[in-house]
Amino acid sequence: MAVSDQKLLQAWQRVLELSRLEKGQIVTILTNKSTHPQTLAMAQIAAQSRGAIVNRLDLPPVNAEKSLSRDPLAYLGNTSLTGNAAAIAMLKTSDLVLDLMTLLWSNEQAEILESGTKILLAVEPPEVLVRVIPSEADRERVKRHSARLAKAEEMLVISGAGTNIRFSLGEFPVISEYGFVDEPGRWDHWPSGFCFTFPNEGGSNGTIVIDEGDILLPQKCYTRDKIKLSVKNGYATKIEGGFDAEMLNEYMQSFNDPEGYAISHIGWGLQPRCYWSTLNLYDREQTIAMDARAYEGNFLFSLGPNNEAGGHRTTACHIDIPLRNCSVSLDGVEVVRNGKVIENA
């Protein structure tokens, strides 16, 4: 159902309030051809209504000749900012960047954040934005779970489908996503609601079974049969199964990069206003499927890069796979049991 300008404006005003946008601060709205016009219009009005100085930086799309998908997370090569010193300077001198085009997993983004600029990504359809307006309660909950993850030395994930894998932890920081940017140099994504980290290099071993009904991203599809990943010393060494396994295999082989098979981020969803069941209800051209990534109780793992957390892998291949009905334990203590978050862990 379409969203009224008034509802989307109120949502933006709340998010900018939570992000501590103050009068006189500089906001740059980052856009390209895929930016939703209503989202842009209401973001501009909301920022101006708080007394901010608002700019718009519109950049051309890139990587079309390389990517097999229109999804902006499907190919993580150069960005529209690569080599663009003028644009980078503009963003670094802004207090807040509203990313309405998807600048992610890039050296340029890391450089901008290091300057103290805050970056908020918001590219989901307006219908999703107004349904998952973040709150201070979201922040408190994600931070609480993130603190537990930060203390852990090992994560064990098991499921009735056959997943049984251990991840050594501690080399990389824990990242909290709760939907707004309330600290200098912070990046976040509206909508979101999960915590994650990256396993130690070479520290992932076991089996991951992607069960029927789990989700592949950027394919944005529910799997129809099981896919078995054998993981050894941090890499998926074998992908077995039927049609879905063949599809995933061919897609990953197209990158011709063995680093694409490395285990990337691992964590669990904490957003009760996101849903596993919504994937088929939105135009796949208009969403990057944050419902799937953030719905409460999922185990979300990724294949590909780890440079977002300071690692060395910058492979263009990035696969996100949220799994249902898993149990996640940290140092022997369950934090998710059969897809249900345990609050008193």
10 Å Cβ neighbour count for 254? Answer: 13
The per-residue pLDDT for 314 is: 83
The answer to whether the CB of 197 falls within 8 A of the CB of 144 is: no
Would you say residue 313 has pLDDT above 90?
A: no
Q: Global pTM?
A: 0.95
Task: Report residue 75's pLDDT band, with 50, 70 and 90 as the boundaries.
Answer: low
The per-residue pLDDT for 36 is: 96
More confident residue, 285 or 89: 89
* Tokens encoding 280: 């088929």
| Residue-wise pLDDT tens digits, 13-58 | 999 999 999 999 999 999 999 999 999 999 999 999 999 999 999 9
Mark out the alpha helices in the chain (DSSP H runs). Answer: 5-18, 37-49, 85-92, 107-114, 126-131, 136-151, 243-253, 290-294
- Say how far apart CA 200 and CA 222 lie, in whole Å: 29
* Strand spans (E) along 243-288: 263-269
Strand pairing report for 164-168 and 204-210 = antiparallel
Q: Say which amino acid occupies 224.
A: R
Would you say residue 210 has pLDDT above 60?
A: yes
Q: Rounded mean pLDDT of 277-288? A: 90
The answer to whether the CB of 208 falls within 8 A of the CB of 303 is: no
The per-residue pLDDT for 345 is: 57
DSSP state of 87: H
Q: What percent of the chain has pLDDT over 70?
A: 97
Q: CA-CA distances (angstroms) from residue 40 to 130, 165, 249, 261?
A: 14, 42, 37, 36
Domain 5-131 sits in CATH at 3.40.50.2300
Domain layout of the chain by residue ranges:
5-131, 136-341
Task: Report residue 328's pLDDT band, with 50, 70 and 90 as the boundaries.
Answer: very high
**Three-state SS string across 184-252, please?**
CCCEEECCCCEEEECCCCCCEEEEEEECCCCEEECCCEECCCCEEEEEECCEEEEEEECHHHHHHHHHH
Mean pLDDT rounded to a whole number for the chain:
94
- Say how far apart CA 125 and CA 105 lie, in whole Å: 21
Q: Which of 244, 251, 205 is nearest to 228 (CA)?
A: 244
Q: Rounded mean pLDDT of 322-341? A: 98
